[in-house]
């Protein structure tokens, strides 16, 4: 009887372990994968930008004071770009610039400009746009890198929007659309300007993508990881529609998943939110994602640098990962992968974003024309 029970236990453990082992192997395959372009999971930002001369180019990077944004700013400065480093306060931006310059090779001049912008406050975004335009600079690259993730409870921005949506999408939407004229002008007689929007694999956590994208509020019932997933889905759809609207005017847009990296983005995440991440659609995904948690910040920054400097124009509008095109909805096709190519959904999403921003700005009578 004991032997029979032991045998049953072994069989049951095998039934449970085999799928988990399969997921783990998928994660390991991602770590070892390299695309036809020679870039893959372990590529670093310096490697992907090697040989690129960014002299004469101006690049704006939001969230440039830490994590991926800091490394992105460092690499762009290393390659000769004039980096406009955006942080929530001028003090943070100036401190980051000082730290970056201390890391760069000596004997060279580096041009870096601090810019204060709190993306959770449209009044601050408005002021940042005015401050940038007053400098009279062109703008060849805009890296929408800043973000917050999986807040334990719903919080509101200064304008009343849900914090993750307000910061990750609406703040960037307002910033980017207000700088379209400069991005367009900067592409004249040269290569197209590029907008790179940092999304995440977490877009797959959006509970009901179509309902979210076609809602009038861009807000569904609050679930920490699900709401973060909505904001990251917003990044992808925004980049696609931005590219469709402005590629003929010399502006290309990309979205991307940087990878699973330890940055201060997860500073607000609760244990419950982490559990939500580990279980998707009733499946435990830890074995699949665990092997990919070890990516470094230089490796995590590679894909956004690739989108800005290396991605062919044919990849514009697409969602990237590991410095290559990633098929949107590949892992969870039941989440309606066709949304990215649904023109009606994208247009509705864009108009809703405009309406939400416009309604918030109308409550700020002291905001002038940018």
Given a cut of 90, whether residue 253 has pLDDT beyond it is yes
Tell me if 78 is assigned to some domain.
yes
DSSP 3-state of 257: strand
Tell me if 2 is assigned to some domain.
no
Tell me if 367 is assigned to some domain.
no
> What are the residue numbers of the active site?
222
Tell me if 247 is assigned to some domain.
yes
DSSP 3-state of 173: helix
Q: Which has the closest alpha carbon to 85: 116, 106, 49, 57?
A: 116
Q: What DSSP designation does 105 have?
A: P
Q: Which residue has the higher pLDDT, 330 or 340?
A: 340
Given a cut of 80, whether residue 204 has pLDDT beyond it is yes
Percent of the chain with pLDDT over 70: 82
Beta strands 283-284 and 279-280: pairing type? antiparallel
Residues 115-127 pLDDT 10s: 999 999 999 999 9
Confidence of residue 332 (pLDDT cuts 50, 70, 90): confident
The C-alpha angle with vertex 140 and arms to 119 and 54, in degrees rounded to 5, equals 120
Identify any residues that bridge with 59 across adjacent strands, giving them in sequence order. Answer: 83, 141
pLDDT in the model for residue 143: 99
Confidence of residue 213 (pLDDT cuts 50, 70, 90): very high
Tell me if 15 is assigned to some domain.
no
252 token code pair: 């290309």
Q: Give 220-224 contacts, CB < 8 A, sequence gap 24+.
A: 222/153, 222/154, 222/162, 223/276, 224/150, 224/151, 224/152, 224/153, 224/269, 224/270, 224/272, 224/273, 224/276
Tell me if 95 is assigned to some domain.
yes
Q: What is the CA radius of gyration of the chain?
A: 21
Q: Which residue has the higher pLDDT, 19 or 232?
A: 232
Tell me if 340 is assigned to some domain.
yes
Q: What is the DSSP string of 44-98?
A: -HHHHHTT---TT-EEEEETTTSHHHHHHHHHHHHTT-EEEEEESSHHHHHHHHH
pTM for the model: 0.88
Q: Which residue has the higher pLDDT, 32 or 237?
A: 237
First to last CA, the chain: 80
Q: Which has the closest alpha carbon to 47: 317, 266, 226, 302?
A: 302
The count of domains in the chain is 1
Tell me if 9 is assigned to some domain.
no
Domain around 217: 33-362
62: left (phi over 0), alpha (psi -120 to 50) or beta: beta
Question: What mean pLDDT do residues 221-229 have?
Answer: 93
Residues 333-345 pLDDT 10s: 777 888 999 999 9
CATH value at residue 152 = 3.40.50.720
Q: Which has the closest alpha carbon to 68: 231, 232, 296, 309?
A: 296
pLDDT in the model for residue 189: 82
pLDDT in the model for residue 336: 83
186 token code pair: 């900067």
pLDDT in the model for residue 71: 98
Question: What mean pLDDT do residues 173-190 have?
Answer: 96
pLDDT in the model for residue 287: 46
Given a cut of 50, whether residue 269 has pLDDT beyond it is no
Q: What dihedral do alpha carbons 67, 68, 73, 79 form, nearest 10°?
A: 130
């Amino acid at each position: 009887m004991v032997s029979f029970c032991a045998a049953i236990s072994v069989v049951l453990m095998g039934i449970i372990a085999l799928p988990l082992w399969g997921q783990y192997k998928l994660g390991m395959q991602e770590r070892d994968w390299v695309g036809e372009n020679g870039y893959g999971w372990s590529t670093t930002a310096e490697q992907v930008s090697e040989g690129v001369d960014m002299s004469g180019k101006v690049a704006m990077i939001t969230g440039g004071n830490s994590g991926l944004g800091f490394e992105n700013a460092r690499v762009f400065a290393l390659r000769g770009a004039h980096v406009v480093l955006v942080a929530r306060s001028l003090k943070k931006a100036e401190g980051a610039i000082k730290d970056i310059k201390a890391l760069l090779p000596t004997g060279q001049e580096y041009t870096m400009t601090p810019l204060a912008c709190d993306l959770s406050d449209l009044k601050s975004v408005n002021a940042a746009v005015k401050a940038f335009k007053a400098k009279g600079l062109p703008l060849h690259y805009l890296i929408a890198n800043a973000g917050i993730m999986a807040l334990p409870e719903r919080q509101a921005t200064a304008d009343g929007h849900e914090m993750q949506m307000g910061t990750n999408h609406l703040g960037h939407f307002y910033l980017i659309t207000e700088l379209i004229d400069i991005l367009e002008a900067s592409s004249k007689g040269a290569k197209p300007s590029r907008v790179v929007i940092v999304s995440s694999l977490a877009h797959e956590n959006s509970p009901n993508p179509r309902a979210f994208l076609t809602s009038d509020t861009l807000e569904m019932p609050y679930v920490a990881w699900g709401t973060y997933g909505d904001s990251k889905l917003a990044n992808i759809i925004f980049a696609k529609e931005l590219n469709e609207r402005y590629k003929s005017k010399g502006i290309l847009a990309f979205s991307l998943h940087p990878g699973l990296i330890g940055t201060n983005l997860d500073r607000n995440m609760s244990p419950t939110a982490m559990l939500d991440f580990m279980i998707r659609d009733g499946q435990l995904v830890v074995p699949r994602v665990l092997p990919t948690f070890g990516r470094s910040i230089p490796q995590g920054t590679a894909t956004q640098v690739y989108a800005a400097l290396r991605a062919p124009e044919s990849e514009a509008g697409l969602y990237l990962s590991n410095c290559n095109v990633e098929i949107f909805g590949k892992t969870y096709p039941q989440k309606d992968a066709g949304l990215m190519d649904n023109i009606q959904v994208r247009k509705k999403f864009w108009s809703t974003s405009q309406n939400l921003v416009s309604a918030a700005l109308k409550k700020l009578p002291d905001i002038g024309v940018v």
